[in-house]
Structure 1
Amino acid sequence: MAKNKTDEMSFLDHLEDLRWHLIRITLSILICATVAFIFSRAIFKYVIFAPKQMDFPTYKWLCKVSEFIGINDTTFCAAEFPFKITSLEMSSQFSADIWTSIYAGFIIAFPYIIYQVWSFISPGLHSNERKHSRGFIIVTSLLFFIGVLFGYYIVTPLSINFLANYSISPDIDNQFQISSYIALIRSSSLASGFVFELPIIIYFLTKIGLVTPQLMKKYRKFALVIVLILSAIITPPDLASQVIVAIPILILYQISIFISKIVVRNQNKKQEKVNV
């Protein structure tokens, strides 16, 4: 490893450096959360409560698909969802507003968070590896945002549609707490965002030698089972939803194998140059 400032830093110096990075990350989230709180009414109207309206783009598209294949009696084409969102505690709406702003702040500040993480680990890398920092931040942020959008536009509406229309008796009226409703949107979106970081995770695991493309190919069948289990966790328990979620995750797994091959190939080339 090339000599750099990390060679001269003590353990306490590393902790101090880490503390300042964490402080910057926290401040960035708080600043973005404050901005989100200022515009929270618009966020709730156009983002949070949008998936409970039947004119949401995903429902309109699925309704057209259902009609195209000859299924006319489907919940995707209903006039409205059979549930209401309620607030049963004095502080429920205020808490929902605060926490929604914080999670929105985290999503908005994600590129800067990644930048701070990279700034902390990059001094320990070679100079040629540090040159790719900008690409790393862009790709990592892009994958996260794509995952969040996938969770919001695919996983969330499928979950809401299934759970809102699921009934064990017509005597029961669905009245969901606002905290429960927001938790579904939050978990679906953030979980998908982190799942889409799989290629980045595989890249670093390959760099440190914990993962190889041969290993990923060998355990592809086990990975398929894990993907299906993961899809079942973050989606409602119907087969169609699980398949819809599983497909992009499997594609990401194949991309990760390709990335792992590139990393191993580059490492072998460097080793050959050293041997020569």
Structure 2
Amino acid sequence: MPGAPQAWDDLMGSEFWTDFWSQKAQLQSDFAATGRGRMDIVAFLYTINEAARLLDLSPTDRLLDIGCGTGILTLALASRAGAVTAIDVSPVAVERARQTLSDVDGAEVRVGSITCIEEQASSFDKVLAYSVLQYLDSIESITKAFLEIRRVLRPGGRALLAANPDPAARAKLEARLRATMSPEDASAEISLLAKTLWLPPSTMSALGKEVGLAIEARPIHARIPQHTYMFDLLACRPMEDTWNNSDSGKCS
């Protein structure tokens, strides 16, 4: 994509996914524009509550939302944090998110990537990346993302890296798509799945620990549709600045 930051090369098929989400961002429905077209309002409310609970958001927190899309999840969480910054690789999504968040005091929205975050070190108390890691192209890019998250978190800060596809559940998901969709629609969905990165929870956790994060996999709430084939990662930057790969700790 001409003029795109170098970090966007870390996206799996960077031009494809940037164009994909830019097209989504032009849809009328905010749910559809953020990839939640099949999610009902109750499931979305559970998503909000689960994110706020796992992040342990408080009114003094500075929150970074990575992969904000049109900003509806950012908006839902903004009242629970002190200040919010939202970034997305799609300029079209960013423009729509700016409109969504235009009445949120102090909200900042800009184009940006999880593998190259503009903010200074230790800038945020909490970081959210909802359904973002799966669009990176390699283990090396995941490591870059984890390093950036660790860098921008303050010591003791917390990150929720939510909705990561589990390869152990992929076959059942594809079978369900074939059983519940037309052949054409199922083929299109499965083709998209093939363009995403599927890494098991153990691998993702190990990569986070290697860069000094305390990290653990968590199941997704059963009222959120992705729970059947995805998992969350909850990560913390330890209060100490030294890394210890053999003892990563746990998020309290």
Normalised to the residue count of structure 1, the TM-score between the two structures is 0.23
Instruction: Determine which structure has the larger helix proportion and give its number.
Output: 1
The one of the two structures with greater contact order (alpha-carbon pairs below 8 A, sep at least 6) is 1
Instruction: Determine which structure has the larger strand proportion and give its number.
Output: 2
Normalised to the residue count of structure 2, the TM-score between the two structures is 0.24
